[in-house]
């Protein structure tokens, strides 16, 4: 009920923010900063200082662009798009995104969720930070944010084949980095199977 009220009040909050109301601007930031900061951190990788700097730039950009917000989509969706674009632009300035064309193979392997999902999520995030900038950007946009390869190609200025290639490489690297999680689970399964074998008489 509270969330619904917040959503209904948001258009008024946005209008006040556009008029320069600092309390309204602060309220928008408080409400949406956790998600925006998470998006930035995932795209940037393990550099916390860089992520914090870029997140600050993102919010400056969001507030500057507020007068152009028409309400055609939810504010969170609109702000999310700005966060992705601004972060990718910042990454382009500091290091060129990889754009290597290779033959793409179908990748069907996946990692089953562990019982401790928080540990697994943290492990995946730490592993993703070790990917090359281009591979990490494609992996984050596709597997985490739900972008299509066509949308990623447009965002990054690469081909859809290049996007698929980077995703294939990212997943392959992540499988290696996260192999210990799979091995641990396999060992646990083997132990359970052994425990359930009927004793021989």
Look at residues 2, 15, 10 and name the one whose alpha carbon lies nearest to residue 75: 10
Over the stretch 134-143, which tens digit does the pLDDT of each residue have? 888 888 888 8
Over the stretch 68-85, which tens digit does the pLDDT of each residue have? 998 888 899 899 989 998
Residue 146 DSSP symbol: -
Return d(Cα 65, Cα 59) in angstroms, integer: 10
Residue 3, pLDDT > 70, answer no
**Percent of residues, the chain, with pLDDT higher than 90:** 23
Band (pLDDT 50/70/90 cuts) for residue 201 is very low
Check: CB of residue 99 under 8 Å from CB of residue 63: no
Query: Does the predicted model carry a pTM greater than 0.95?
Result: no
Angle value at C-alpha 18, between 17 and 20, nearest 5 degrees: 65
Residue 94, Cβ neighbours under 10 Å: how many?
11
pLDDT in the model for residue 133: 82
Ordered domains of the chain (ranges, CATH)? 2-94 (1.10.1740.10), 117-195 (1.10.10.10)
């Amino acid at each position: 009920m509270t969330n619904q009220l917040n959503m209904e009040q948001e258009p008024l909050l946005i209008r006040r923010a556009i008029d320069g109301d600092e309390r309204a601007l602060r309220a928008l930031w408080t409400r949406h900063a956790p998600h925006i900061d998470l998006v930035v951190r995932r795209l940037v990788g393990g550099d916390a200082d860089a992520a914090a700097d870029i997140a600050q730039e993102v919010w400056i950009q969001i507030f500057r662009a507020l007068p152009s917000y028409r309400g055609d989509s939810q504010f969170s969706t609109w702000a999310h798009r700005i966060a992705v674009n601004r972060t990718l632009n910042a990454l382009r300035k500091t290091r060129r995104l990889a754009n290597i064309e290779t033959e793409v193979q179908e990748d069907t392997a996946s990692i089953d969720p562990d019982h401790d999902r928080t540990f697994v999520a943290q492990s995946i995030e730490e592993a993703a930070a070790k990917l090359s900038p281009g591979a990490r950007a494609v992996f984050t946009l596709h597997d985490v944010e739900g972008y299509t390869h066509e949308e990623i190609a447009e965002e990054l200025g690469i081909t859809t084949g290049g996007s698929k290639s980077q995703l294939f490489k990212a997943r392959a690297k992540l499988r290696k980095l996260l192999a210990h999680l799979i091995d641990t689970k396999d060992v646990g399964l083997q132990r359970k199977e052994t425990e359930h074998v009927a004793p021989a008489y």
